[in-house]
Amino acid sequence: MSEDLLVLDRLRLEVPAGRRQWRTLVDDVSLTVAPGEAVGLVGESGSGKSMTARSVLRLTPPGARLGGRISFDDTSVLELGTRELRALRARRIAMIFQEPRAHINPVRSIGDFLTEAQITNLSASPKQAHAKAVRLLADVGITDGERRMRQHPHELSGGLLQRVMIASVLAAEPDLVLADEPTTALDVTTQSEVMAVLDELRRDRGMAMLLITHDIGLAAATCDRIGVMYAGRIVEVQSAEALTESPRHPYSRGLLSSRPSLDRVVHPLPVVPGRAVAAFEAEEGCAFAPRCAVSTPECSAVRPPLRAVDGAHVACIRAEEP
C-alpha cells in the first residue's frame, strides 16, 4: 500500500494531430504527492504543467490518449468507470481552474454555484450550505457575502470570480486540490492573501495540493516540494528551500536568475535565451540543450533520465557540477 495520496508513474498524454498522427504534450512524468503535502509544478507556458494536472482527473482534450499510471489513494484513475470518475471529481479531488468565467455557469447566481455541491455531495441543508458559503467568501477576501451570493458571474470582476472558484473548491473539503494558476487574475497583493488562505486551510484540513504556476517564487513560498517542467518532462524535483538555494538543472537556474530582486539592480534582467518548446517539438537528446549555456555535444545525443543527485532528482548529465 502506497504512503502517497497521488502517484504519477511515467505519465504520457498524446492528442490527435491529423490522420494517424499524434502529438505528445506530456512525456514520461513521474511525481508523487503525499497526504497534506503541497507540491508545485513550475515552468514556462507550453511545458505541460496544466495538462499534467488535468490528466489526474482525465480532463483531457477530445480524442486524447493517456499512458502510464495515475494512482489516487491506491486506486487506478485510468481504470475508473464513468460513475466512479464522477464521484472522484465531486468529492475527493477538486480543481481550481485558470479561467473562472469558462467554468462558472453564467445564468446561475453565485449562491447557487457555491451551495449546489455541498447539498448534493456533503448532504448539507440549504441553510447550512448558504452559511458556509458566506464564511468561505470572507475567507478568500470577498466582503458583503450575502449580497455577492445574490449576484451573477457577469456582475463580478475576474479577480472576484477567481476567489469564488477557490471558495467553491474549499467548500467540498476534498483530499487533494489541483490549483491551476489560481492567482492569475489577481494583483500581487491579493495573490499573497489568497495563497495564504489556501495554505492555511490546506494545513488545517490536511488537504494535499498540486499547484501549477509559472511563478517559481510563489511556489517556493507555498509548497513543500517543487517540480520543474520543460518540454513535457520533469527536469528537476527538490524541496522548495533546496531548489531556490541550490538548483541543479540549468533550466531551474535560469528561471530563478530571471526573477526581479529587491536586493540588487540588474540591467538588463537576465532571461533564458531562445524559445520554449513543447514535448512534440523536442528533438533527440536533452530538450533544453539548444538554450543551455553549459550544454555539450553529448547533451544533444542522449536524453538524460531523471536521477537522484544529492537529495534531488535531476535530468541533466552535468547535475553533479557546481
DSSP per position, 224-284: SEEEEEETTEEEEEEEHHHHHHS--SHHHHHHHHTS--SS---SSPP---S----GGG--S
Rama region for 41: left / alpha / beta (φ>0; ψ in -120 to 50; rest): beta
Query: Is 201 part of a structural domain of the chain?
Result: yes
Report if residue 30 sits inside a domain: yes
Range of the domain at 222: 6-314
Which pLDDT value is given to residue 20?
Answer: 81
Q: Among positive and negative, which fits the CA dihedral 204, 209, 213, 217?
A: positive
For residue 171, give the nearest of 206, 143, 209, 133 by alpha carbon: 133
pLDDT at position 127, please? Answer: 94
Task: Report the candidate in 13, 103, 100 with the shortest Cα–Cα distance to residue 61.
Answer: 13
How sure is the predictor about 35, in pLDDT bands with cuts at 50, 70 and 90?
A: very high
C-alpha torsion sign, points 93, 94, 97, 103: positive
Handedness of CA 7, 12, 15, 16 (dihedral sign): negative
Taking residues 104-124, report their average pLDDT. 90
Do the domain assignments include residue 53?
A: yes
Q: Which residue did the predictor score with more confidence, 102 or 28?
A: 28
201 pLDDT band, cuts 50/70/90, is confident
How far apart CA 124 and CA 96 sit, in angstroms, is: 22
Per-residue pLDDT at 1 exceeds 60: no
> What's the predicted TM-score (pTM) here?
0.91
Residue 243: band (very low, low, confident or very high) from pLDDT cuts 50, 70, 90: very high
Cell numbers 533520465: residue: 305
Instruction: Identify the CA nearest to 230 among candidates 258, 260, 272.
Output: 272
| Helix, strand, or coil (residue 290) | helix
Residue 29, beta-bridge partner list:
11
Does the pLDDT value for residue 267 go beyond 80?
A: no
Q: Would residue 320 count as lying in a domain?
A: no
Establish if 319 belongs to a structural domain.
no
Does 268 sit behind a cis peptide bond, omega within 30 degrees of 0 on the bond before it? yes
Residue 72 and residue 57 in contact, taking contact as beta carbons nearer than 8 Å: no
Distance CA 211, CA 206 (A): 16
Residue 1, in any domain of the structure? no
CATH number at residue 264: 3.40.50.300
Mean pLDDT in the chain? 90
Are 43 and 230 in contact by the 8 Å Cβ rule? The answer is yes
303 inside domain: yes
Task: Judge whether 264 lies within some domain.
Answer: yes
Comparison of pLDDT for 120 and 235, the residue scoring more: 235
3-state secondary structure of 58: coil
How many distinct structural domains can be found in the chain? 1
Which amino acid, 26?
V
Q: How confident is the model at residue 185 (pLDDT cuts 50, 70, 90)?
A: low
Q: Percent of the chain scored above 90 by pLDDT?
A: 61
